[in-house]
Copies of this chain bind each other. A is one copy, B any other.
Amino acid sequence: MCKKIINLGLIGFGKVGAGVVRVLQDSARLLEEKIGARPVLKKIADVDISSRRDVSVDRHLLTTELNDILDDPEIEVVIELTGTTLVAKRLMLKAMSEGKHIVTANKAVLAQNWAELFATAKKNRVGIFYEASVGAGIPVIQVIREGLAANHISRIFGILNGTTNYILTRMQKDKINFEEALDEARKKGFAEPDPSLDIGGFDSMHKIVILSNLAFGKKIEIKDVYVEGIDRIDEKDIRYGEEFGYSLKLLAIAKETGTPGVLTHQQRVGKGARHRTALHSMEKNLRPAEIEVRVHPTFLPKEHLLSSVEHEFNAIYIVGDLTGPIVLYGRGAGQMSASSAVIGDLIYLGRKIVGGNAGEISGLWEERRKGIKIKNIADVRSRYYLRFSVVDSPGVLAKISNILGRHNISIAQVIQKEERRKDVVPVVMMTHEAVEKNVQHALSLIDRLKIVKAKTVLIRVEDGTTFC
């Protein structure tokens, strides 16, 4: 403990940047105590250094020149909070090549450049810390990386975006439509002026790319993720889903199938050596490991814990082979919540710097499982909620179920609804598990039938059995 000061450079002085600065000021003594060295904010760079922030800083700290930070050899840690993508990537690469560690909240940059960024970190023996990039102050990154390090993680289900969860909650609880709910979210400050990243599912996509790279030790890129947003959700479907006992959530799903990892704890460790020999041959017969990653509106059983995650809250459901399910819940956005994560990383990293092993392996990432395949959405198995808009005449249901049957899709439940518009009635269905490409093919045939008057609505369903 001969190190007394750790110099920081902050790039990006927006809302979260200001929050971080405030914690650095207000909790200076506590931070020094926890780290064992004094973190000193040496420079703050932003394109705008004249607007007022809700924190006061010495004018001399401010600069519009990135290089005032990147070229300063005394600065050991760059806190990257720009919210940009290209600029952020360039500055992170540059900073690392100068031997600086990175703390960032930038999910888009991480999701787009994961392998490259970590390769650069490894080469330069620096760390990248990104707790704030998923779930803000919910320490999910650390939990996966360290707390569950002994586990083989087989599944992650995440409500990772507060805006969309707020909108869906309002639509479900207050029976308002998408536009009204989006308006409310805007008024409450839960939606950006341009909410398309959230609504379209892309924010959740960035986050699940990060979580699944981390959890599976497999390079997973944005192009590997199937994404569907909530902008086309009709409140009618939320209501019908409720009648079947389901809540609608924008769920980010990452699953490993076909591997030992999906055997339950009981199967794996239940009955001693003889049992494990049997298991071994079982494992050999399993399909090879595959990973599927997707983001889409999903019906969840109402009694499932994730269904009670309401409004702007986030939650992450993780299944480890040793722990079984673990859930983390909290506010997944907000200035101070994100600052908590950034400062938490800073404490963690600071301790490593003090200990002299900041470049060691635990902050980094390497692909451990190159062989494993990534599953195309077409091959995914799921249950489905389907709403057909059909003419009200005899034989309609027979025609539809005939096509479904030919595609190996069996029906679990049907509700036929009466409606004011008598020429078109909705037929609502819950299927048993089926293969996505079969469902898509069946629907393309059904939607061409004369008795079908509008495009069929499809919403995927995760039921209780997939959660263990």
Task: Spell out A's residues near B (CB within 8 Å).
Answer: 1, 19, 22-23, 27, 31, 33-34, 36, 54-56, 131, 136-139, 142-143, 146-151, 265, 269, 271-273, 305, 308, 320-331, 334-337, 339-340, 343-344, 346-348, 351-352, 354-357, 360-362, 368
Contact = CB atoms under 8 A, between A and B. Distances in A.
A271 B334 CA distance: 15
Contact of A146 (B19, B151, B271, B347): B347
17 contacts: A23-B150, A36-B360, A54-B271, A137-B324, A142-B147, A149-B344, A149-B348, A150-B340, A269-B335, A322-B336, A322-B337, A322-B340, A323-B337, A324-B330, A324-B331, A355-B356, A357-B357
Contacts of A148: 137, 139, 340, 344
Contacts of A131: 147
Nearest to A330: B326
Given A146-B142, A344-B149, A351-B362, A327 B325 contact: no
Contacts of A305: 308, 329
A1 B359 CA distance: 11
A143 B150 contact: no
A357 to B, nearest CB: 3
A414 to B, nearest CB: 30
A36 B361 contact: yes
B339 A322 contact: yes
A326 B265 contact: no
A129 to B, nearest CB: 11
A157 to B, nearest CB: 13
Contacts of A149: 34, 343-344, 347-348
Contacts of A55: 272
Contacts of A346: 150
B348 A33 contact: no
A256 to B, nearest CB: 15
B357 A151 contact: no
B355 A360 contact: yes
A143 B147 contact: yes
Contacts of A368: 33
A322 B54 contact: no
Given A22-B269, A23-B322, A269-B336, A139 B150 contact: no
Given A36-B361, A146-B142, A149-B347, A327 B328 contact: yes
A329 B330 contact: no
A147 B151 contact: no
Given A27-B150, A327-B330, A352-B355, 17 more contacts: A22-B269, A54-B271, A142-B142, A142-B147, A146-B347, A149-B343, A149-B348, A150-B340, A151-B340, A323-B330, A323-B331, A324-B334, A325-B331, A326-B328, A354-B360, A356-B357, A357-B357
Given A33-B368, A308-B308, A340 B355 contact: no
Contacts of A356: 355-357
A147 to B, nearest CB: 3
Contacts of A137: 148, 151, 320, 322-324, 326
Contacts of A151: 137, 340
Name the residue in A324, A348, A352, A356 with the highest tally of chain B Cβ atoms < 10 Å from its Cβ.
A324
A54 B271 CA distance: 7
A361 B357 contact: no
A326 B138 contact: yes
A339 B150 contact: yes
A54 B269 contact: yes
Contact of A325 (B269, B273, B330): B330
Nearest to A27: B150
Contacts of A139: 143, 146-148, 326
